[in-house]
Amino acid sequence: MRGHDWINTCLPDDLILEILRRVDSKASHDSCSLVCKRWLRLERLSRTTLRIGASGSPDLFVMLLAQRFVNVKAVHIDERLSISLPVNVGKRRGRDENSLTSLKVHYAAEKSGSEEEDCESFCLTDAGLTAVADGFSKLEKLSLIWCSNVTSLGIMSLAQKCSFLKSLDLQGCYVGDQGLAVVGKCCKQLEDLNLRFCESLTDAGLVDLVTGCGKSLKSLGMAACARITDKSLEAVGSQCKSLENLSLDSEFIRNKGILAIAQGCPLLKVLKLQCINVTDRALIAVGVSCLSLEMLALRSFQQFTDEGLRSIGKGCKKLNNLSLSDCNFLGDKGLEAIATGCTELTHLEVNGCLNIGTIGLESVGKSCPRLTELALLYCQRIGNFALHEVGKGCKYLQALHLVDCSSIGDEAICSIAKGCRNLKKLHIRRCYEVGNKGIIAVGEHCHSLTDLSLRFCDRVRDEALIAIGQGCPLQHLNVSGCNQIGDAGILAIARGCPQLTYLDVSVLQNLGDMALAELGEGCPLLKDIVLSHCHQITDVGLSHLVKKCQMLESCHMVYCPSITAAGVATVVSSCPNIKKVLVEKWKVSPRTKRRAGSVLSYLCVDL
């Protein structure tokens, strides 16, 4: 029968609820809630995760959300995000509007008139955290990011009422020892705890916590906690036998604490360290005791040498992810020990390690055939032959990142292109020896490449992009600062890459309107484009682009002298999905401000 509502007639609540639970995106959830009152009610029951910006009366906002979404298990509150209460609620939501009004009256009655308290009303407080605990009885995961007005009192209230809590992120919160002690006493199922930038904590609080819930703890992160010392890590080592993930950034931690972790946490799989006072002795202990280690990140160590890496290579046979940043006393022999000992390596990052050169990376190419991602940043001593070995031995490589590697040029890129034909992502920045020859080889051999970034590679010309357009199904392209690229190269991309969604052509002085018109014709899926500092682009080219690219969401066009207020207005009026336009303030007319103010994140920027 025409117009009959078969879905609501035939399907029970349980089945519709199960369907709604399988909907992924928030936008789709929101759309489902607008179908009818029944779907609105069921959609609210299906929500298990909420993300809240801790601005614009978040305490009140939490109370309102708790009434609507009763099955929520994960709440993320981020002080850095802005959100405000709804205004002018429509007739269909009249009941909610009344509840909102009553909440406003109740909330106002509880506040005093001081200016200090008025300021605090724009940040999440202990009252809001208590509302979280009261309203979300099934809470298992809570993130409080930079909620600086939350104190131990709020955490204590939360812990006492949310005993099923499994994950707690307190990054940037001024929570003291009392709050952490109650969490340890009440939350016996806690598995994941982040205490980065919790400056009020001392050893006493962390010791109490791990004494209470250390048996269940699997992940712990700490950074910039100046009063946390080796004493806390000794407690972690003795109480947290199931710990799998540890992230430490502290100048107050020394060997004693890391030794306690290595000896007491044999199941450790992920270890991230930025502790300048830790030496090889600690790393050797990790290699001896943490045989399940899979990921190791070492940053800014001046006391680690190849001896420590040799121990890791000898003992941690399951290691598959290694990141070395600014470790100036690590050299080729240490990396060679990792390569020969940890043959399961799939991800490797070497960033600013001045003594690691070609020989070290050669051994990775020879001994680590499963490598899928390689990042070399500021590695002046690594040359072409190293990447020749990688291309020869690492057939499964899918992502390569090169930044400021002055000794790497076309020969290396040709070797990668010919040997690593599964390459999907290639990011090169300020590698001035890379030019047409290498990128043409990529276009000829890497037919799975979808993400290409060639920032400030000034030897790359149009011929390279023509080869890419003919051979690679690009979705993401960044050629910012490649000043020899002009219309011909971008035309080839427009004609050969119809799936392109992101394009950065900033600082291309030879790029004109013809390229933009062709992009409009050939790349209808384009969502983000950066045109800043393109002096030859005018309103005409911009008009051709936006006429066909109806999915465009962001457009950056700062310092484009030939683009006027009319061009800005064209972008705003022609793109129904536009969310962000970056342009000089004086180019925005009052009419454009009125039209776009409600939908653009950043319309005007003073430069």
For the chain, what is the largest distance between any 2 Cα atoms, rounded to a whole number of angstroms? 79
How many helices (H) and strands (E) the chain has is answered by 26, 20
Average pLDDT over residues 77-100: 50
Average of per-residue pLDDT across 372-384: 97
State the Cα angle at 370 between 364 and 374, rounded to 5°.
Answer: 55
* Cβ atoms of residues 423 and 451 within 8 Å: no
Identify whether the C-beta of residue 354 lies closer than 8 Å to the C-beta of residue 327: no
Write out pLDDT tens, residues 557-568: 999 999 999 999
How confident is the model over 393-434, as pLDDT tens digits? 999 999 999 999 999 999 999 999 999 999 999 999 999 999
Q: What is the pLDDT of residues 514-565, one digit of tens each?
A: 999 999 999 999 999 999 999 999 999 999 999 999 999 999 999 999 999 9
Confidence of residue 599 (pLDDT cuts 50, 70, 90): low
Q: Across-strand partners of 451? A: 425, 476
Residue 103: per-residue pLDDT: 34
pLDDT at residue 236, rounded to an integer: 97
Residue 510's closest CA among 487, 530, 490, 491? 487
Can you identify the CATH homologous superfamily of domain 450-587? Ribonuclease Inhibitor (3.80.10.10)
Q: How far apart are alpha carbons 175 and 183 in whole angstroms?
A: 11
pLDDT greater than 70 at residue 605: no
pLDDT over 90 percentage in the chain: 70
Alpha-carbon span 141 to 603, nearest angstrom:
35
| pLDDT for 606 | 46
Q: What are the sequence ranges of the domains in the chain?
A: 450-587
> Partners of 603 in the beta sheet?
none
**pLDDT for residue 382:** 97
169 DSSP 8-state letter: E
Res. 20 pLDDT band, cuts 50 70 90: confident
Three-point CA angle 585, 591, 597, nearest 5°: 70
**In whole angstroms, what is the distance from residue 533 CA to residue 546 CA?**
19
To the nearest 10 degrees (0 to 180), the angle between helices 13-21 and 37-46 is: 60
Residue 101, pLDDT > 60, answer no
Q: Is pLDDT larger for residue 1 or for residue 200? A: 200
Position 267 pLDDT exceeds 70:
yes
Distance separating alpha carbons of residues 499 and 490, to the nearest angstrom? 14
**pLDDT reading at 493 higher than 70:** yes
CA dihedral 356, 362, 368, 374 (to 10 degrees): 60
- For residues 152-168, average pLDDT: 94
The three-state secondary structure class of 602 is coil
- What is the Cα–Cα distance from 78 to 143, expressed in whole angstroms? 8
State the Cα–Cα distance between residues 417 and 441, nearest whole angstrom: 6
Residue range 298-327, pLDDT digits in tens: 998 888 899 999 999 999 999 999 999 999
* Structural contact between residues 60 and 107, judged by C-beta atoms closer than 8 angstroms: yes
Rounded Cα–Cα distance for residues 209 and 365 (Å): 45
- Mean per-residue pLDDT for 58-81? 85
Of 53-62, 335-344, 487-496, where does mean pLDDT reach its minimum? 53-62
The whole-angstrom separation of Cα 191 and Cα 216 is 5
Q: What's residue 594's pLDDT? A: 82
For residue 226, what pLDDT is reported? 87
User: In this predicted structure, what is the pLDDT of residue 597?
Assistant: 64
Q: Determine which of 224-238, 397-411, 451-465, 586-600 has the lowest per-residue pLDDT on average.
A: 586-600
Please give the backbone phi and psi of residue 297, each rounded to the nearest 5 degrees, phi first.
-125, 120
Residue 19 CB contacts under 8 Å (≥ 6 apart), including other chains: none
Average pLDDT over residues 329-333: 94
Residue at 345: amino acid letter? L
Mean pLDDT of 129-155: 92
Name residue, tokens 């812990």.
159
Angstrom distance (rounded) from CA 585 to CA 588: 6
With tokens 């055939």, the residue in question is 369
Q: How far, in whole angstroms, is CA 49 from its chain's centroid?
A: 18
pLDDT class of 56 with cuts at 50, 70, 90:
low
CA–CA gap between residue 328 and residue 352 (Å, rounded): 8
Mean pLDDT of the chain: 88
The pLDDT score that the predictor gives to residue 598 is: 58
